[in-house]
A and B are shown apart, each in its own frame.
Chain A
Amino acid sequence: MRLDYSGKKNGMKYHIITLGCQMNSSDSERVQTVIESLGFSATDNENDADLIGIIACSVRQKAIDKVYSRVYKWNKWKNKRNLLTFVSGCILPADKEKFLKLFDFVFHTNELNLFPEMLKNYGIVTPLHVQETKARPHVDIDLFWLIKPNYQNKFEAYIPIQNGCDKFCTYCAVPYTRGREVSRSSDDILKELERLVNLNYKSITLLGQNVNSYGLDKKGSEISFAQLLAQIGEFGFKSGKEFWVYFTSPHPRDMGEDVIQTIAKYKHLGKQIHLPVQSGDDKVLIRMNRQHGMSEYRKIVDSIRKHLPDATLFTDIIVGFTGETEEQFENTRKAMHEFRYNMAYIAMYSPRPGAASSRWDDDIPLDIKKERFHALSEDLRLETSAYNKTMIGKIYRLLVRDTDRKMGYLSGQTEGKITVRFKSDDLALIGQFVNVKITSAADFSVQGDLIQVLETKVVENV
């Protein structure tokens, strides 16, 4: 394959597969920017692609199996046609060793700036307008963050603010795939936020594996997470625009009172808190190496209820973790009712390659895990249903996100990320704020009547 440097689209196509979590999706947006700046255009069809890449997730066995099955297929195609392959994302060292033999390019996301150079050295392409192309003496996640992402949505966006994790939960491999916590410069974050707000983005989520440990790795030279939120709040106030800023995923250990008070102070900081509990039992939390117990968790929730009485509370829970007894699971059920979650992402435990617990006996049978999953889902249903009923008769601001499954309806989310549908077939409302009066409530969704469109401006993306 030979690519011609022309300063325009080079006629070559790329296909990218993104596996795993939101962090990978956000990274993928930046990878796409770099590839497109090299003259490639995106294609949904891998058969048409000259360059195929995977943003991988070593954290989930299924995702990694998918990488292997795909690359074997692509390598066969190489006998018949020109094709280059790359893999990036969350990769365990053991997988990286194997990928080096299977893919043409293997790089960590923080090495993305070197990708054009790698391609060039492969003798096929000269980069067009990527700034950081000169062979640099070092690779740096800060350079990766400087790349302007190819946002996949016109009104909701993610801003990575932190990468890596220092917590070492025993069920998780992220500390081994992403390395130590590194915070992005607050100036860059604020610039990216400003750009998005100017483009009329309405929902912006600050992203990180341990988002609220922001700044801890640069103590003294960078602001804290609470200060970052405050600066965002101040900017929102001055901008005169309407938008909501969220963050995910935080760790209870770093959820200081200052963060909660700051959210309370600024209207642009979304009143929805995601606070992973994982288990409601102290002993299970110890086994998970979560580095906090239920009493610490309870204090945080108390503070949220005190300072943010209208906030919704979301969580993550693992059921059937190694050694989880019936009694320990019951403690998780109690936690569900005690904290009255509005949403819980419940996962049945499955060992993750590379994580400490992957070497332990996965001793809870699948049928028990399923039973616990269903029991806890039912507990959640009771809580969400009770909450949703309290919404009836009240007026909520919604960000309209899409058409609803029910014909003739649109669906949106409140500031607390409760999904609400309302009758309308005006697709121009998607991406806009509207006011809706709630008329009825089901377990996981709510219905209302449109009473006011708050903005009619056409959203233009650049």
Chain B
Amino acid sequence: MIKPSVEKNVRISNLIDIRKLTNSAFVLRFEKHDLSFTAGQHIALGIPDIIDTREYSIYSAENDEAMEVLIKEVEEGFMSPKFGKLVVGQKVKVMKPVGYFTINKDYLQSKRFVFIASGTGIAPFHSIIKSYPDINYSILHGIRTSEEAYERNEYTAGKYIACTSRDKNGDFHGRVTDYLQQNSIDTQAIYYLCGNYEMIDEAYGILEKAGVKPENLKAEVYF
């Protein structure tokens, strides 16, 4: 058992499991120690002896006994390829979960949530859905090919829509923003947008124009 690091906000955790999802995407599972969080929050992840850390949304549920993150290796990225080379038993630095991209629990019973993600931007939604199984939701996942529909079986059938831009094996051929433009928009739902800034910017514009109130639009920009 590894003792928590002496730095207050940092824990050193053993890697318990690595799930390879595609050639470049994987889920790291590691010890959680005493770190509690609210679904939707993110941690900074590092490797002992390397100064740099990177932020990752927590993928696992609030009450899961370990913690998981979903990482996509960025070509020529500094840290993500290093995380991709880790093996079970190695250690990672985990910094206190933080963030505001969380669900207002008062609305869990009364509202419908529409989660719109690009790529690994699905991670916080996975955590939210696993943490609040009764949540009324649908997910629009913008990916290039259907193999990037990371662990889609984890979501209730019919509630997950893979929007694939480079193949036709998803549920919709095109980008999430194309989907939004071609389908009716529920203006009463609460929308959460997560991933790259271009997608968020475009989707926000479409939703706002359709009449969704700004206070019902939340976003987390990754890059």
The reply on A372 being an interface residue by CB < 8 A is no
Using CB atoms, name the residue of chain B closest to A296.
B215
Instruction: Determine how close the nearest CB of chain B comes to the CB of A291; give it in whole angstroms.
Output: 4
Taking CB atoms and an 8 Å cut-off, the chain A residues in 134-170 that contact chain B are: 137-140, 166-168, 170
Contact B201 A323 (CB under 8 A): yes
Determine the interface band of chain B, counting residues with CB < 8 A from chain A. Answer: 20 to 34
Cβ–Cβ < 8 Å partners of A356 in chain B: 197, 221-223
- Chain B binder among A54-62, A92-100, A337-345: A92-100
Q: Provide the B191-220 mask, 1 if CB < 8 A to any CB of A, else 0.
A: 001000100110011001000001101011
Using CB atoms, name the residue of chain B closest to A292.
B100
Using CB atoms, name the residue of chain B closest to A110.
B7
Q: A137-B6, A170-B221 are in contact. Are A283 and B100 (CB under 8 A)?
A: no
The reply on B96 being an interface residue by CB < 8 A is yes
The reply on A286 being an interface residue by CB < 8 A is yes
- Chain B binder among A39-47, A174-182, A231-239: A174-182
Contact B201 A283 (CB under 8 A): yes
Q: Provide the B2-17 mask, 1 if CB < 8 A to any CB of A, else 0.
A: 0000111100000000
Contact B214 A287 (CB under 8 A): no
Contact A359 B223 (CB under 8 A): yes
Contact A289 B7 (CB under 8 A): no
Contact B201 A181 (CB under 8 A): no
Contact of A360 among B96, B197, B208, B220 (CB under 8 A): B197
Docked complex Cα distance between A97 and B83 (Å): 19
The reply on B157 being an interface residue by CB < 8 A is no
Taking CB atoms and an 8 Å cut-off, the chain B residues in 1-53 that contact chain A are: 6-9, 44, 51-53
Using CB atoms, name the residue of chain A closest to B9.
A180
The reply on A330 being an interface residue by CB < 8 A is no
The reply on B99 being an interface residue by CB < 8 A is yes
Contact A287 B9 (CB under 8 A): no
Docked complex Cα distance between A167 and B44 (Å): 13
Docked complex Cα distance between A217 and B96 (Å): 9
Taking CB atoms and an 8 Å cut-off, the chain A residues in 69-113 that contact chain B are: 93-94, 96-97
Identify whether the interface residues of B are mostly helix, strand, loop, or mixed.
Answer: mixed
Instruction: Determine how close the nearest CB of chain A comes to the CB of B11; give it in whole angstroms.
Output: 12
Using CB atoms, name the residue of chain A closest to B100.
A291
Instruction: Determine how close the nearest CB of chain B comes to the CB of A237; give it in whole angstroms.
Output: 34
Cβ–Cβ < 8 Å partners of A182 in chain B: 8-9
Using CB atoms, name the residue of chain A closest to B54.
A176
Contact A253 B214 (CB under 8 A): no
Contact B51 A97 (CB under 8 A): yes
Taking CB atoms and an 8 Å cut-off, the chain A residues in 277-302 that contact chain B are: 282-283, 286-287, 289, 291, 293-296
Contact of B214 among A94, A138, A295 (CB under 8 A): A295
Contact A287 B200 (CB under 8 A): yes
Instruction: Determine how close the nearest CB of chain B comes to the CB of A127; give it in whole angstroms.
Output: 22
The reply on B98 being an interface residue by CB < 8 A is yes
Contact B214 A293 (CB under 8 A): yes
Instruction: Determine how close the nearest CB of chain A comes to the CB of B175; give it in whole angstroms.
Output: 18
Cβ–Cβ < 8 Å partners of A139 in chain B: 7
Contact of A94 among B52, B101, B193, B221 (CB under 8 A): B52
Docked complex Cα distance between A359 and B101 (Å): 22
The reply on B147 being an interface residue by CB < 8 A is no
Cβ–Cβ < 8 Å partners of A137 in chain B: 6
The reply on B178 being an interface residue by CB < 8 A is no
Contact of A287 among B51, B201, B217, B223 (CB under 8 A): B201
Using CB atoms, name the residue of chain B closest to A218.
B8
The reply on B95 being an interface residue by CB < 8 A is yes
Q: A138-B6, A181-B98 are in contact. Are A283 and B52 (CB under 8 A)?
A: no
Contact A286 B219 (CB under 8 A): yes
Instruction: Determine how close the nearest CB of chain A comes to the CB of B95; give it in whole angstroms.
Output: 6
The reply on B62 being an interface residue by CB < 8 A is no
The reply on B55 being an interface residue by CB < 8 A is yes
Using CB atoms, name the residue of chain A closest to B219.
A286
Q: A93-B51, A293-B214 are in contact. Are A180 and B201 (CB under 8 A)?
A: no
Docked complex Cα distance between A291 and B200 (Å): 14
Contact A286 B200 (CB under 8 A): yes
Contact B55 A168 (CB under 8 A): yes
Instruction: Determine how close the nearest CB of chain A comes to the CB of B215; give it in whole angstroms.
Output: 5
Taking CB atoms and an 8 Å cut-off, the chain A residues in 308-335 that contact chain B are: 323
Docked complex Cα distance between A268 and B209 (Å): 47
Instruction: Determine how close the nearest CB of chain B comes to the CB of A70; give it in whole angstroms.
Output: 22
Docked complex Cα distance between A139 and B9 (Å): 12
Contact A166 B99 (CB under 8 A): yes
Instruction: Determine how close the nearest CB of chain B comes to the CB of A162; give it in whole angstroms.
Output: 13
Contact B7 A282 (CB under 8 A): no
Docked complex Cα distance between A356 and B53 (Å): 14
Instruction: Determine how close the nearest CB of chain A comes to the CB of B1; give it in whole angstroms.
Output: 19
Docked complex Cα distance between A359 and B9 (Å): 28
Cβ–Cβ < 8 Å partners of B8 in chain A: 140, 182
Chain A positions near chain B (C-beta within 8 angstroms): 93-94, 96-97, 137-140, 166-168, 170, 179-182, 217, 253, 282-283, 286-287, 289, 291, 293-296, 323, 356-357, 359-360
Q: Which 6 pairs from chain A and chain B are nearest by CB?
A: A138-B6, A166-B98, A282-B214, A93-B51, A93-B52, A291-B100
Name 15 A/B residue pairs within 8 A (Cβ), A-sorted. Answer: A93-B53, A94-B52, A97-B51, A138-B6, A166-B98, A166-B99, A181-B98, A182-B9, A282-B214, A283-B208, A286-B217, A286-B219, A289-B221, A296-B215, A359-B223
